[in-house]
């Protein structure tokens, strides 16, 4: 197990160690920027629970396909939410051609069960949230939560399903260097980051997180955050603005995603609605991500 991040290795992973890669461009080789541009590709998705029209599972997937989404993400059935029975959703996904790309497990203790569900869908990841322990020790919680994930790693590797740790508003892993270290110490190609662009604005800048997390970032959540609204109306209200009309510098976000050659899913995580609302979200994502 890695106990700490090697400085040189970390700089290479985080996209900061570029000097040695710049020279070949001077001798007629493709530039780093061009290589990254060619690797940059985003697939657009929406949370299944954001589809608010009273339709069959198949017709809900047809709706999101019609308004420009390639995939959906669903909470695990283990959480007891009003999600479709997994086999029903899996069949609808195959029939309609809208991918169920990921399962949101939150902090449910049964990671292997969520992994099995992801396999059923043909998904590639389980989103996991590391909980804080405000009444206990930070260090003990850090190690205990790593141990929980570590127990599931052999199964995740066997099934080829990523366990993706998301940055959330729970006052744990709320800055990028700590998140990077936490992931690297788990030392598995199947434990990476699910980066939420909007969640970090309260404490920092999305472009900095992307720079540091770099290739650890396997998927991203898309939402907006407005600091002025948050300061005047309450912190939670900062999310209640259209994507692209808040405090996020989306140009910088795109630049950093291109630098790391991001190829993956971008899933909207905002208030959903009917066809018109979902089409609006799709258009907003097209603008901020330059799709």
Count CB-CB contacts under 10 A for residue 46: 27
Q: What is the mean pLDDT of the chain?
A: 88
Count CB-CB contacts under 10 A for residue 1: 8
Helix/strand/coil for 50: helix
Architecture of domain 39-289: Alpha-Beta Barrel (3.20)
CA separation, residue 11 to residues 32, 177, 255 (Å): 16, 11, 18
Higher per-residue confidence, 66 vs 81:
66
Helix/strand/coil for 193: strand
Mean pLDDT (whole number) for 162-191: 96
Share of the chain above pLDDT 70, in %: 86
Helix/strand/coil for 101: strand
Give, rounded to a whole angstrom, the gap between the first and last alpha carbons of the chain. 39
- The pLDDT, as a whole number, for residue 36 is 43
Phi, psi dihedral angles at 241 (to 5 degrees): -130, 150
Residue with tokens 């569900």: 117
The tens digit of pLDDT for each residue in 55-71 reads 999 999 999 999 999 99
Model confidence at 81, pLDDT cuts 50, 70, 90, reads confident
- Tell me how long the chain is: 291
Contact of 165 with 194, CB cutoff 8 Å: yes
- The pLDDT, as a whole number, for residue 27 is 30
Cα(193)–Cα(174) distance, integer angstroms: 13
Alpha helices in 97-246 (DSSP H): 111-121, 138-159, 176-186, 206-213, 227-233
pTM: 0.85
- The pLDDT, as a whole number, for residue 162 is 98
Residue with tokens 């106990």: 3
Cα(247)–Cα(54) distance, integer angstroms: 34
Task: Give the list of residues 6+ apart from residue 238 with CB closer than 8 angstroms, or none.
Answer: 201, 202, 225, 226, 227, 229, 230, 246, 247
Cα(192)–Cα(269) distance, integer angstroms: 19
- The pLDDT, as a whole number, for residue 39 is 60
Share of the chain above pLDDT 90, in %: 80
- The pLDDT, as a whole number, for residue 14 is 42
Domains of the chain, residue spans: 39-289
Mean pLDDT (whole number) for 208-230: 97
The tens digit of pLDDT for each residue in 101-138 reads 999 998 888 999 999 999 999 999 999 999 999 999 99
């Amino acid at each position: 197990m890695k106990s700490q991040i090697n400085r040189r290795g970390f700089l290479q992973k985080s996209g900061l160690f570029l000097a040695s890669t710049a020279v070949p461009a001077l001798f007629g080789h493709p530039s780093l920027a061009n290589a990254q541009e060619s690797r940059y590709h985003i697939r657009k998705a929406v949370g299944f629970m954001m589809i608010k029209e009273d339709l069959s599972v198949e017709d809900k997937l047809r709706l999101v396909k019609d308004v420009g989404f390639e995939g959906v993400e669903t909470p695990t059935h283990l959480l007891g939410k009003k999600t479709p029975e997994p086999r029903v959703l899996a069949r609808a996904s195959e029939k309609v051609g809208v991918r169920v790309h990921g399962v949101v497990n939150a902090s449910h203790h049964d990671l292997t069960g969520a992994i099995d569900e992801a396999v059923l869908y043909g998904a590639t990841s389980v989103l996991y949230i590391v909980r804080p322990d405000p009444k206990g020790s930070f260090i003990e919680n850090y190690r205990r939560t790593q141990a929980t994930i570590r127990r599931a790693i052999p199964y995740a590797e066997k099934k080829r399903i990523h366990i993706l740790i998301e940055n959330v508003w729970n006052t744990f892993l709320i800055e990028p260097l700590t998140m990077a270290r936490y992931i690297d110490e788990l030392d598995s190609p199947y434990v990476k980051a699910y980066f939420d662009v909007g969640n970090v604005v309260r404490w920092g800048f999305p472009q900095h997180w992307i720079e540091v997390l770099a290739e650890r970032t396997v998927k991203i959540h898309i939402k907006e955050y407005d600091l002025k609204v948050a300061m005047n109306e309450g912190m939670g209200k900062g999310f209640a603005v259209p994507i692209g009309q808040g405090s996020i510098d989306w140009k910088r976000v795109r630049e950093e995603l291109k630098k790391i050659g991001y190829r993956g899913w971008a899933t909207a995580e905002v208030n959903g609605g009917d066809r018109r609302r979902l089409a609006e979200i799709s258009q907003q994502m097209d603008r901020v991500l330059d799709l």
